[in-house]
Structure formats: structure tokens, C-alpha cells
Amino acid sequence: MSIELLQDLHLLTREGQLNADARRKLKQIRHLVGLLRPALDDALARNPEPSIVDCGAGKSYLGALLYSLVLGPAGRGKLTAIEARPELSQQAAARAARFGQDRFEVATGAIGTFIGVDGAKRPNVVTALHACDTATDDALVLAIANNADHVAVVPCCQAEVARQLESSKPSDPVNAALFAHPLHRREFGSHLTNVIRGLVLEAHGYKVTVTELVGWEHSAKNELILARRVNRFDRRARETLRALLERYQVEPALVRELTARGLDPRAEPTS
């Protein structure tokens, strides 16, 4: 990775020095890329031109690093960064051109508009790092709808389920006590959201691993969900998901959007 790129990403000072903040960021990056590496290596091993899609990419720092560390040295494969804000996607495209990342494509628009691409463009790896609002769920829908081989998301903005819990009235007072207070409701809602995300992936045939990002202790959003597609579906995960949603009387955006696309993760498999 070039010094110039690290400076452009604010990981080195203008003088090429590492300050304390940059050291922390580099530690985070090394750890994150190390966790993503098996998925990226698998995509390269199984596909002549693997496709990586980074959703809610922001300034595309993650994409720039993955290209520099993985796709660039491999000499093949394409990385697509999806970002809804034109000013950020323009910055990412300019950086890619400046550093000769010719297989780095920037797509401007909502993630949902890129769901349902033809088979030739099926993403092999879908990532979303702290994608805001419902972008994490949109990334999961994109991955599931397009049968992506690997998924890696660091979730963000998990307030929707907490709001639904506010009107939830479980018959069991023990369950109700878990989120009776606003602070507990927010924390429990965040946890429940990620549990549901993991079950949805499992329901669609993914093997899921959940881990913590080392060096991200300063952030409350340091949970990494990794998934690898191994089957068409998992009946037990669907049963568990149905029971969980019924118990807490919630239906997050991820479940609603998949259901609208004929991919209800609660449905009994037809074969």
C-alpha cells in the first residue's frame, strides 16, 4: 500500500508519520481485513473475476483498502462501492482514478436499486461497514436476493426494533421485564436486531459467525457478522426466527423487505 494512499485516507500525516490516532486506525484495519481475508481469498479462488460490493460505502475507505491490499495484488476482480450521497461517491471515484484503481467502480444511489442484478453480475462478497439508517439491512437483502457467497457487516442504527418493542405486550412478564425501561429497550432492541439478522442469514442457508472487532472499543458498534452460504435454506433457523418474532411481536425492515421480494425467511421451505 502506497504512502500517498495512506495519507489520502488520513492514516498517515502529511509528513508520513504515524500519530496515536493513526496507529489505532491501522490496528483496526489490519484486524478487519484479516477477518475478511478468508472470504476474499475464497472468492478469488472460485471465480476468475470475483465481484465485491461495499454497501453504504461513504468515502469508500474500506473499498480503497480492500482494493489496495487484495484485488490490486491479485490483478483481477472488481470492487463496487454503493453510496447514496453524490458528493461522497464523487470523492471515492476521484481517489480510485488518482491511484489507478481501474477495477474500482462507484455506483451512486440507494442500495435497494441494485438488488436483482443479472446472474453474470452476482456479487461474491457483500460488505457494509457502519452503513447508516437501514443500509445494513439493505445490504443483507442485496446479498440474500443475489445469492452472494459471503457477507460481512458491522451493523449500525438499530433503533427500529426498539421502537417496535415500545408497543410490544408480551404475555410473559419475564420477557416484558427485559425491555420495560427505555435504556434497556434500546440496548435489548439493538441486540435483538442483530440476533434476527443472524437468524435471517441462517434461514437462507448461510453459516454465520459473530465476533467483536479488536481495537474498536471506542465505538458501541463493534460487532461483526460474517456469513458464508453453504445451503439453500435452514429449516430450524426459520422455525426459531418465527418463534422469536412472535414472542417479541416485532417485524424489522429486513424481514419485511425480504418478504416483499418473495424471500420470507420465516416461510416453510417448499423443497
Q: How many domains does the chain have?
A: 1
Is 265 inside any structural domain?
Answer: no
**Residue 216 pLDDT level (bands cut at 50, 70, 90):** low
Q: Look up the pTM and report it.
A: 0.91
Is 192 inside any structural domain?
Answer: no
Is 239 inside any structural domain?
Answer: no
Per the structure, the complete domain to which residue 143 belongs is given by 3-156+205-233
Is 199 inside any structural domain?
Answer: no
Is 253 inside any structural domain?
Answer: no
Give the CATH number of the domain where residue 77 resides: 3.40.50.150
Q: pLDDT tens across 75-90, in order?
A: 999 999 999 999 999 9
Is 212 inside any structural domain?
Answer: yes
Is 44 inside any structural domain?
Answer: yes
Q: What percent of the chain has pLDDT over 70?
A: 93
Query: What is the rounded distance in angstroms from the CA atom of residue 171 to the CA atom of residue 163?
Result: 18
Is 149 inside any structural domain?
Answer: yes
